[in-house]
Amino acid sequence: MQSIGPPQWKRQSAVPSIPPDMSQALEQLNALPGAIGSLVTDRGGNIIERAFPCLFDDATLSAVSGDVAECASVLGISSASTKTLFLRYAEGIVAIKPLDDGLLLLLCTRESSRELMSRSLDDAAARLRKDITSPALHSDSGPPGWASV
pTM, two decimals, is 0.74
Provide φ and ψ at 94, rounded to 5°: -110, 120
The model's pLDDT over 112-132, given as tens digits with 9 standing for 90+, comes to 999 999 999 999 998 887 655
So what's the pLDDT on residue 131?
Answer: 55
Torsion sign over Cα 142, 129, 71, 105: positive
Residue 14 has pLDDT above 60, yes or no: no
Interatomic CA distance for residues 53 and 89, integer angstroms: 19
Residue 146 has pLDDT above 60, yes or no: no
CB 42 within 8 A of CB 102: yes
Q: What one-letter code names the amino acid at 88?
A: R
Q: What is the mean pLDDT of residues 23-49?
A: 94
- Residue 66, Cα to own-chain centre: how many angstroms? 12
List helix spans (H) across 2-148: 20-30, 58-74, 114-132
Q: Which of 127, 144, 124, 149 is nearest to 72 (CA)?
A: 144
Residue 149 has pLDDT above 50, yes or no: no
Interatomic CA distance for residues 62 and 132, integer angstroms: 18
